Structure 1
């Protein structure tokens, strides 16, 4: 762990927006899903919600460029339950959808807790989901085609979201809860030890100010001694 790498990790985590997310309504193409996740990481979204496509969710690594390591994915069986869980957490649901009631995407306030809902590639947002959303937005089109690719549309809207939040100073201070921040800090700094601990149900050891485990040899000795006692019992 170089000092530069540790500083980057701390800076990125300090700009994460826990009250901002994206939920997809059965977007099924791996490239589109991964492109959306990549954009989520770029604008500071820590958690992405996906209504699991009928063919299942599969990350397309070529497009994601590793961003799945930095953005947690939460899968939902259906769009209604996904939206309901987000609303219970206080999120406003904004659907990207072309309709008579949709407004220009730039005319919405995204500085409040917001979940951007993106629909499937061919049919868009489902009627079931539209009945549950708070607002509908559209991207003005000047050409012959009626809509952007779903991942492109998501990126365009999230760019406006980021602009508004930057203007409001929401990236200027750490907004993740302390326990979440510390957990993510360890997981990002120590991925190998994270896997070791998670597989064994162990608590993460403390880190020093440079992102390294404090006295790793002593920590591992204690782990071995505990495992030996358990085997003897």
Structure 2
């Protein structure tokens, strides 16, 4: 059984998740940058985030895989344009973090709106296709000699501005995940091994009591084989 203190922490984390805030990593390849961005996403309540890459898999550092990567849902995609258009059709404003003549100071953006933030690769930046598909470009004002920040640093700055605005509006004080998704994630994160076994067997997740204990009677009933015709 999960410790009640850990169960409460998972509940609080899920209650603060922001389903209408996400990050798209446009061919960000360096493991330490991927890992740092994932940690920042988890810290501000992002559950679903996206990595666009031509590779079949991407690699993060081990610490992120064992830490923040466990609490977030990373989707691997190949077509940045199609992904940006899909997110736009879902009602999100798609913001490309890139320095152009039309780029707006990121602090002037209303991040309380459904938002997808596109971050570019370390050297290439956000791709032309992503910029074309985005609703607008945003930039971080800089007054020194360097032209850009490390992508994970830029991600943290933008994400915590989004967190600041959403916090002021009270968006972390009420649970925003749909009830069915909340219960699904609560069980999977509380009992990762058991949930994996149940998925492999096609079994339903049982209910949890207020302390995180499994309601055994329901689990037995859900996974009991249905009677055959000969036994009726």
TM-score by length of 2: 0.91
What is the alpha-carbon distance in structure 1 between the residues aligned to residue 227 and residue 32 of structure 2?
A: 47
Match of 1:173 in 2: 174
Match of 1:127 in 2: 128
Match of 2:90 in 1: 89
What is the alpha-carbon distance in structure 2 between the residues aligned to residue 58 and residue 104 of structure 1?
A: 31
Q: Once the 2 structures are TM-superposed, how far is the Cα of residue 80 of structure 1 from its aligned partner?
A: 1.0
What is the alpha-carbon distance in structure 1 between the residues aligned to residue 24 and residue 99 of structure 2?
A: 17
What is the alpha-carbon distance in structure 1 between the residues aligned to residue 56 and residue 36 of structure 2?
A: 18
What is the alpha-carbon distance in structure 2 between the residues aligned to residue 19 and residue 9 of structure 1?
A: 20
Match of 2:76 in 1: 75
Aligned length: 227
Q: Once the 2 structures are TM-superposed, how far is the Cα of residue 24 of structure 1 from its aligned partner?
A: 1.0
Contact residue 23 and residue 49 of structure 1 kept, 8 A: yes
Match of 1:226 in 2: 225
- 1:4 aligns to 2:8 (yes or no): no
After TM superposition, which residue ranges in structure 1, 4 or more long, deviate above 2 angstroms? 52-56, 62-65, 218-223, 225-229
Match of 1:146 in 2: 147
Q: Once the 2 structures are TM-superposed, how far is the Cα of residue 110 of structure 1 from its aligned partner?
A: 0.5
Contact residue 47 and residue 71 of structure 2 kept, 8 A: yes
In the alignment, structure 1 segments of 5+ residues that lack a partner are: none
Match of 1:136 in 2: 137
What is the alpha-carbon distance in structure 1 between the residues aligned to residue 30 and residue 133 of structure 2?
A: 24
Q: Once the 2 structures are TM-superposed, how far is the Cα of residue 221 of structure 1 from its aligned partner?
A: 8.3
TM-score by length of 1: 0.91
Contact residue 95 and residue 116 of structure 1 kept, 8 A: yes
SS of aligned partner of 2:133: coil
Contact residue 17 and residue 176 of structure 1 kept, 8 A: yes
Match of 1:59 in 2: 60
In the alignment, structure 2 segments of 5+ residues that lack a partner are: none
Match of 2:33 in 1: 32
Contact residue 21 and residue 116 of structure 2 kept, 8 A: yes
Contact residue 198 and residue 204 of structure 2 kept, 8 A: yes
